[in-house]
Amino acid sequence: MSTEMNWALSVSPKWKGRARRILHKMGSRNKRNVLFLHNSYYHFYYLAQALRRRGWDAVTVSLEDPNGPHANYYHGEDLNLFSPDLVQFHLKIEEFFAEAIERFSLLHFAGDGVMSFFSENWASDEPWDIIEWRRRGSKVAYTISGCNDGVAQSSVRRWSATGGEVVCDKCAWQLRPDICHDAKSLVWGRKLDKYCDMIFTEGSPALDYQNTPKCVREPTTMCLDPTFWHPDLRVPDHLKIARKEGELLVYHAVGNYELRTRNGRDIKGTGAVMAAVERLQSEGMPVRLVFVTGMKNTEVRFLQVQADVIVDQLNYGRYGATAREGMMLGKPTICYLNPNEPRPVDVLSSIGEVPLVSATETTIYQVLKDLLLNSEKRRRIGQAS
């Protein structure tokens, strides 16, 4: 008996009946629809809202503990199936899957290594729920989570060297094969290529399984809501930064700072940012660094919007969440950009057009000084952002 038939027989009539009632109330496959599985920061949350405003049946579902270690980076979901009781947790997922496979024709998930509704399938080369999903003619899409998502570390090394420095030598995960290793990354990439109809690589370089005919490489799914991030945010009193007259603020943040910056490895270039600000202070410039880690992402925007300059990262060569947030808030944002690609045809319009100010650990002092001394330049770049 096939795995798919085993699944169909294992779902009790009670669960099937409840699933049908939910289907009747909440939606159907008769209109455009998508189920977003797992969290891609806050991107799926706002993307689903925007699609619903356009008539889609779009739902986000999470399996994570809402009080877990990554909760600070999420803004919510439409449905959270987590339960500390493992039996109940599994039953809730089974029930939801029975509903979802009837209701949705597109599954769009995120998360390196978590291609399934069921955690016991994550390590499987043949996740039965994904196989059943595709057997019915439904589609599967994926949004990447980082540079090693289907890409070998050695490929990232070669690419980053085209910009002058090897980013992997700055990364705490370089010597952690359980997190980043050629074989691990490529096995996952092959699995993505096998089961996914489309892979959104969100501006990453065209490397390995982030460079196949299934890949959409220009930014598409990592969405921000302009009603949530905008230059005229009203800052709550408890988050207002007291500053002296004429004082300039530089914002810089690192998620999971203790884990990602250790043993001399500093993927974001935080040490260079701190050193640049201290040097400017020693020269008499009234500048202060606002460094953030461990703060809820729903709140950091209130600190970002008060800054004169935002600094994202100085090593990788492509921009991330902090840069996107800074631009949405109309702030001049510094971020190292390496526009090089393996082939001329792979060059991204978004990298060439984005109004970020590029800097490395070596150049951050001069770039930051130039921006802080020129208020009109900051205004122009912020407006373009």
Q: What angle do CA 225, 203, 293 make, to 5 degrees?
A: 60
Q: What is the Cα–Cα distance from 233 to 160, expressed in whole angstroms?
A: 37
**How would DSSP label each residue in 266-288?**
ETT-HHHHHHHHHHHHHTT--EE
Q: Partners of 215 in the beta sheet?
A: 199
Where would I find the H helices in the chain?
A: 3-10, 13-26, 43-53, 86-103, 128-135, 153-161, 182-195, 257-260, 270-282, 297-304, 321-328, 349-353, 364-372, 375-384
Amino acid present at 55: G
pLDDT the model gives residue 260: 63
Residue pLDDT tens, the chain, 385 long: 344 334 443 444 454 555 455 444 455 566 899 999 999 999 999 999 999 999 999 999 999 999 998 899 999 999 999 999 999 999 999 999 999 999 999 999 999 999 999 999 999 999 999 999 999 999 999 999 999 999 999 999 999 999 999 999 999 889 899 999 999 999 999 999 999 999 999 999 999 999 999 999 999 999 999 999 999 999 999 999 999 999 999 999 987 656 566 677 888 999 999 999 999 999 999 999 999 998 999 999 999 999 999 999 999 999 999 999 999 999 999 999 999 999 999 999 999 999 999 999 999 999 999 999 999 999 999 999 9
Residue-range domains of the chain with CATH: 3-216 (3.40.50), 237-384 (3.40.50.2000)
Q: What is the Cα–Cα distance from 298 to 16, expressed in whole angstroms?
A: 37
pLDDT the model gives residue 58: 98
Q: Where are the beta strands (DSSP E) in 131-241?
A: 139-143, 198-200, 215-216
Q: What is the Cα–Cα distance from 381 to 373, expressed in whole angstroms?
A: 14
